[in-house]
Structure 1
């Protein structure tokens, strides 16, 4: 393939990166989008259509303007003081909304829970299907299974999701992937999913290599997906063929890197798995600054700074700190004026005595 041909084909990657970051690039400018706060810390973002429904549950969700920033916020009732109570009260609302069939996201209810966390602690858990409604940050693991073929070079294993999957049914996907459910760690999840989805034996899975993470902010008709995926690479023997064990995969296919790129561009590939494939191909030297004119922009869109987008508490504290400083300054000024008044009084009294 001529280098110019590669350049023309791979330039499509930039448009794909924009697609799986559609909310990050344009979503904040559309409509009423409010921070979702629990215990004073931002854990999500809520759009206007969800806010409209949450207004029906005022004893659970407080929808108001912050007194310090005057920004609209959605806050879980502060009266719910512990993890269990917060989980229970939110679950009541979600089950009620599910029974009414208002949101398509809740049709994928699976009794699988994700943690809703601030930067340092878990505040409650929520059914996986509901997290897009609240713009809750989600975490998952992905395994890039690959081989170095003697004649075709770098080849990558892909899976085709079962047609019965609640999300992205029938789409092509990374060889192994799964969300971080309550009670499971990152490496633990990777090992579990490797066994369930691809029957990778322990003597091979021990060779998993941590390869960092990707992050992006996607929006679909189901809601918001501020996702961080922990990535692992796994070089496999030429004679290994993945076999599904949990009924969630209908096929596997080993593709040369060139064909894998073409597959990613199709509508048959799961959009939110594209970042992992692109990241892998960059790290393994298939996508380079020489054959991709938007190389640096793509790198940035594979590592969206989600942490800095969920900083409402920090902003609020800054506002409070400024107000406190202003109050202290006013108090000090008032004290200085009082002292000056007292001193002037003494001076006037001394002047009278001397006269």
Structure 2
């Protein structure tokens, strides 16, 4: 009981957005998703029954789900997977697919070229590692001190509707670079003009592994900081934001701990406060663990080596055993 009481609010939050990494309820039931001998994701048991209906595309065994190795190139894999996902979408049996975006994310293994692309809304069903960009818009206010801009997501957003969020954020879609995405999202979400966007500074990234009823979310966010003039007011232009608010650091912390804040955006705010010296080892008793939980080694998790069988194919059973020991 004493140990539980010693856990700070920040650490509780960090454990929440890393709930799958730390103690995923379905972790022991998940099967590695294998493409060309590489693990690119994880599939929960509640999704396996749907994939099992398409054995010509997905080979479901006792220890893994493998994309048919007969599909030899990027285009063929993309088409075959998209065909299955379109059928599942029409059946309206999976809630994530109701948020279909007609936007694709690249699927790859660490250190290898992209293997195929997948509809954004489906990636959580396969535990695909996703990449995005987030921009911290901040102001050095003459009377309030350091302040941070936040957005309130539209009530019609497919995910986290109406929740408060970082000022600007977006996923890395196929064909777009990191900085290119940041500039594009800044213009669309907050009407940031090119001259201000050019002042953005890359300041690192955070990574975490979240789970919800919708699926698995191993995410890496590339972060930019952008100092904004005191007279700049963000203005949404793509219909995905309903309001913006500039908050002091104290107000930002209150927002961070509020149930109205998007859980998976909290790592970026915490990282900002650490880098600006507002969360320190002196005022945060769980500082070391907190920092670790902002940098979960996602690439290493999916990079566990396969043992080869005599036929040269990956030994999924050995790989599965190694993964569940993490």
What TM-score do you get using the length of structure 1 for normalisation?
0.83
Secondary structure at the counterpart of residue 94 of structure 1: helix
Q: State whether residues 39 and 302 of structure 2, in contact with CA within 8 Å, keep that contact through their aligned partners in structure 1.
A: yes
Counterpart position of 1:308:
300
Counterpart position of 2:41:
44
Deviation at 1:11, TM superposition (A): 2.2
Secondary structure at the counterpart of residue 307 of structure 2: helix
d(CA) in 2 for partners of 1:30, 1:118? 20
Counterpart position of 1:294:
286
d(CA) in 1 for partners of 2:24, 2:67? 23
Counterpart position of 2:142:
150
d(CA) in 1 for partners of 2:128, 2:184? 24
Counterpart position of 2:193:
201
Q: State whether residues 15 and 22 of structure 2, in contact with CA within 8 Å, keep that contact through their aligned partners in structure 1.
A: yes
Counterpart position of 2:224:
232
d(CA) in 2 for partners of 1:22, 1:12? 15
Counting only pairs closer than 5 Å after superposition, residues 122-137 of structure 1 correspond to structure 2 as: 122-137=114-129
d(CA) in 1 for partners of 2:204, 2:162? 28
Counterpart position of 1:334:
none
Secondary structure at the counterpart of residue 15 of structure 1: helix
Residues 1:93 and 2:84 are matched in the alignment = yes
CA gap of 1:29–1:165, structure 2 versus 1, over 3 A, is: closer
Counterpart position of 1:271:
263
Counterpart position of 2:322:
none
Deviation at 1:150, TM superposition (A): 1.5
Higher alpha-carbon Rg: 1
d(CA) in 2 for partners of 1:305, 1:48? 24
Q: Structure 1 residues 96-105 or 214-223, which shifts more?
A: 96-105
Q: State whether residues 31 and 48 of structure 1, in contact with CA within 8 Å, keep that contact through their aligned partners in structure 2.
A: no
CA gap of 1:18–1:309, structure 2 versus 1, over 3 A, is: same
What TM-score do you get using the length of structure 2 for normalisation?
0.91
Q: CA RMSD in A?
A: 1.9
For these two proteins, the number of residue pairs brought into alignment is 307
Deviations 1:167-222 (A, max 9, x none): 11111000000000010000000000010001111111111100100000000111
d(CA) in 2 for partners of 1:9, 1:236? 37
Counting only pairs closer than 5 Å after superposition, residues 205-216 of structure 1 correspond to structure 2 as: 205-216=197-208
Counterpart position of 1:34:
31
d(CA) in 1 for partners of 2:194, 2:39? 39
